[in-house]
Amino acid sequence: MNDKNSREYDIIIIGSGPAGYTAGIYASRAGYNTLIISGVLQGGQLMNTTNVENYPGFSSGILGPDLMLNMLQQCKNMGTEVINEEVSNVDLKHTPLTVHINNVKYSAKSIIICTGATPKKLGLPSEDFFSAKGVSYCATCDGAFFKNLELAVIGGGDSAMEEAIFLTKFASRVHVIHRRNEFRASKIMQKRAMLNTKIEFHLNQNIVEIIGDNKVRKILLKNTQTHENQFLDVEGVFIAIGHEPNTQLFKNQIDLDANGYIILKNKTETNIRGVFAAGDVHDHTYRQAITAAGFGCMAAIDVDKFLTKL
């Protein structure tokens, strides 16, 4: 029954990145009454990128926001309802499963969680200013834009090592900036990075400023031991200090791992009957638009099987 304060669907998808939209396309096309609750910032992480060159089907690349608007339109064409709101809370412990947005209750037989993850930020004002003008959180996405340039990678974990090694395919030099004198990264990843002659390490250094005009030109580092400042000329800054899965809403209701990622017990199923997850909210390994879209497709197919059995 649908009224002003209560609405019913077969499937509710929370989140609107490639996983959420792909799940929406598949679920609606399979004939289910499907709602996507997109969040206020519709479209996910790709809304903050420029040209996406590695999403198949676009031989000259496509702007991240255009790709997401196309996916949104494709969902709507299939009949998916999309509302541009933030979920206030969820109840996954009772059936039907319910999602609340302010005073309105949305219930469904199945929910697909596609809330993604957010790259951790340094918190510098210049970081936001230079976002997509030299500051990036994804080497696979943006590395190819920095051919023959000097770059900095911030962080000392496996991501920082992996990003630095990947960026040496394009960059003339990659400076890894780490705030301590030992790395958090696994020994094997450290070794691989250290054997790469294009990578230079700067230990005990905090990045305190990103400087440039219409793009990044240099960074200011402060030595954590001597407190001395030093400028480093770079044209790109890749921040690799970890990701935060967007799972606050589901704490104490769904099994999460120590880092807050959703644990899947079987393909795309969570530990709660009828609740599925897709994309970066559970996948901390691949984290690509195309893999998130693939997981969204898988989740919608798994939900179809679940609902058919019901």
Given the residues 75, 141, 280, 283, the one annotated as active site: 141
Q: Report the DSSP pairing between strands 173-177 and 150-154.
A: parallel
Instruction: Name the segment binding ligand NAP (CB under 6 A); options: 66-74, 153-161, 248-256, 289-297.
Output: 153-161
How far apart, in whole angstroms, are the C-alpha atoms of residue 223 and residue 22? 46
Using CB under 6 A as the binding rule, whether residue 79 contacts ligand NAP is answered as no
Contact 296, 26 (CB under 8 A): yes
Is residue 142 annotated as part of the catalytic site, yes or no? yes
Using CB under 6 A as the binding rule, whether residue 192 contacts ligand NAP is answered as no
Phi then psi for 269, rounded to 5 degrees? -85, 135
Q: Which is nearer to ligand NAP, 59 or 226 (CB)?
A: 226
Q: Least CB distance from residue 155 to ligand NAP, whole Å?
A: 4
Q: Which is nearer to ligand NAP, 169 or 180 (CB)?
A: 180
Contact 40, 16 (CB under 8 A): no
Number of residues that bind ligand NAP (CB under 6 A): 15
Using CB under 6 A as the binding rule, whether residue 180 contacts ligand NAP is answered as yes
Q: Which is nearer to ligand NAP, 147 or 180 (CB)?
A: 180
Q: Which is nearer to ligand NAP, 96 or 242 (CB)?
A: 242
Q: Which of 159, 205, 247, 270 binds ligand NAP (CB under 6 A)?
A: 159
Using CB under 6 A as the binding rule, whether residue 179 contacts ligand NAP is answered as yes
Give me the torsion for CA of 175, 177, 182, 187, rounded to 10°. -50
Using CB under 6 A as the binding rule, whether residue 202 contacts ligand NAP is answered as no
Helical segments of 144-277, H only:
158-167, 187-195
Paired strand residues for 212: 216
The token pair that represents 271 in the structure block: 């530990």
The token pair that represents 268 in the structure block: 């795309």
Give me the torsion for CA of 199, 201, 207, 211, rounded to 10°. -40
Given the residues 10, 138, 283, 304, the one annotated as active site: 138
How far apart, in whole angstroms, are the C-alpha atoms of residue 134 and residue 21? 28
Q: Which of 29, 100, 105, 284 binds ligand NAP (CB under 6 A)?
A: 284
Q: Which is nearer to ligand NAP, 146 or 183 (CB)?
A: 183
Using CB under 6 A as the binding rule, whether residue 249 contacts ligand NAP is answered as no
Q: Report the DSSP pairing between strands 97-101 and 104-113.
A: antiparallel
Is residue 141 annotated as part of the catalytic site, yes or no? yes
Draw the binding track, 113-152, toward ligand NAP (x: CB under 6 A; -: no contact): ---------x------------------------------
For residue 131, the number of C-alpha atoms closer than 13 Å in the C-beta half-sphere is 15
Q: Least CB distance from residue 271 to ligand NAP, whole Å?
A: 21
The token pair that represents 28 in the structure block: 């609606």
The token pair that represents 70 in the structure block: 């196309």
Catalytic positions are 138, 141-142
Where on the chain is the footprint of ligand NAP (CB under 6 A)? Answer: 122, 154-160, 162, 179-180, 184, 241-242, 284
